[in-house]
Amino acid sequence: MIKAIYPGSFDPVTNGHLDIIKRASKFVDVLVVGILDNPNKHCLFTSEERKELIKIVTKDIPNVEVESFYGLLTDFAKEINASLIIRGIRDTNDFAVEFQRSITNKQLNSDIETVCLIADEKNLILSSTAVKEVAIFGGDIDWMVPKEITGYVKEKYNK
Ligand code: PNS
């Protein structure tokens, strides 16, 4: 059985993240979306909220689970028996970062492989940061995040 982890901050989950989740869930038995719960990083959504949002958009994908983790990714992967790390790549900047991360993670646990998926062309410029930058000034984010998520992001900035 192949169990994989797709880690990230997901603050909030974007169309790009969801595309990677859908594609990865087709070639593994179980895909755990792992939300990094970093108390030192200021996030728009709490890790519990991010978890709920990902659960909402993945509710129709039966082999997807959602968990939060704190600490090293390789430690969490081992704890849940995941043998693959999934990451999405949008451009050469992402490649450079993921290249280094995969080597670091391999050094930390050589049993865990990293698999990078190239982002779909319609998602190449999407990021959670861009979503927040547009939303804070009331811009249209419908094209950036799953339709179920739009209201939650807008609500954060209306408070
Ligand atoms: O969504 P992001 O911010 O690109 O996700 C980054 C993430 C969570 C994958 C990365 O920061 C991570 O793996 N953090 C856990 C700490 C860790 O294991 N670091 C060593 C490998 S670089």
pLDDT of residue 41: 87
Helix, strand or coil, per DSSP, at residue 81: coil
pLDDT of residue 38: 87
Tell me if 117 sits within 8 A of 89, measured CB to CB: yes
pLDDT of residue 74: 98
Closest residue to atom 6 of ligand 1, CA basis: 8
Tell me, yes or no, if the pTM score tops 0.85. Answer: yes
pLDDT of residue 149: 98
**AA letter at 50:** R
- For residue 67, pLDDT over 90 is answered with yes
DSSP string, 116-132: EEEPPGGGTT--HHHHH
Tell me if 53 sits within 8 A of 128, measured CB to CB: no
Query: Which residues participate in catalysis according to the annotation?
Result: 17, 41, 90, 128
For helices 147-158 and 128-136, the axis angle rounded to 10 degrees is 50
Query: How confident is the model over 30-59, as pLDDT tens digits?
Result: 999 999 998 888 999 999 999 999 999 999
Fold of the 3-124 domain: Rossmann fold (3.40.50)
Strand ordering across the sheet containing 84-89: 64-69, 30-36, 3-8, 84-89, 113-118
Over pLDDT 70: what percentage of the chain?
Answer: 99
Any ligand 1 atom below 6 A from CB of 96: no
The answer to which of 33-42, 71-80, 86-95, 109-118 has the lowest mean pLDDT is 33-42
> How much is the mean pLDDT over the chain?
97
Closest residue to atom 13 of ligand 1, CA basis: 73
Task: Please report, for residues 9, 75, 153, the alpha-carbon distance to residue 57 in angstroms, rounded to integers and kept in the order given.
Answer: 16, 27, 14
**Which one is predicted more confidently, 41 or 113?**
113
- For residue 159, pLDDT over 80 is answered with no
Query: How confident is the model over 122-150, as pLDDT tens digits?
Result: 999 999 999 999 999 999 999 999 999 99
Q: Residue 25 corresponds to which tokens in the numbers above?
A: 């869930």
pLDDT of residue 150: 97
Any ligand 1 atom below 6 A from CB of 34: no
Q: Please identify which residue in the block is written with the tokens 């974007």.
A: 14
Over pLDDT 90: what percentage of the chain?
Answer: 96
Measured CA to CA, the distance from residue 92 to residue 73 in angstroms comes to: 23
